[in-house]
Amino acid sequence: MMSLIKRFFRRIFRSLISMYGPALLTLLFAIILFQIFPDGPIWPVPIFCIFVIVIFYRYVKW
């Protein structure tokens, strides 16, 4: 019974990471970027977003 519960929560956790991981990483990157460089350019954020989506698509397969 414990293994079923573990497997259930592991599956939910993996699906949540694969769904919300790229968006959360992009938001975190944008927040850190604009905290460090308040007058910095905006163009690194969409490039990072595309990079994260490609990495998740290629390497995070559940």
Q: How confident is the model at residue 62 (pLDDT cuts 50, 70, 90)?
A: low
Q: What is the pTM of this model?
A: 0.75
Which residue in this structure is represented by tokens 């350019």?
41
- Token reading at 41: 């350019």
- Token reading at 1: 């019974």
* Residue 45 CB neighbours (<10 A): 15
All structural domains of the chain with their residue ranges? 2-59
Higher pLDDT residue, 28 or 58?
28
Q: Would you say residue 61 has pLDDT above 80?
A: no
- CB contact at 8 A, 18 and 62: yes
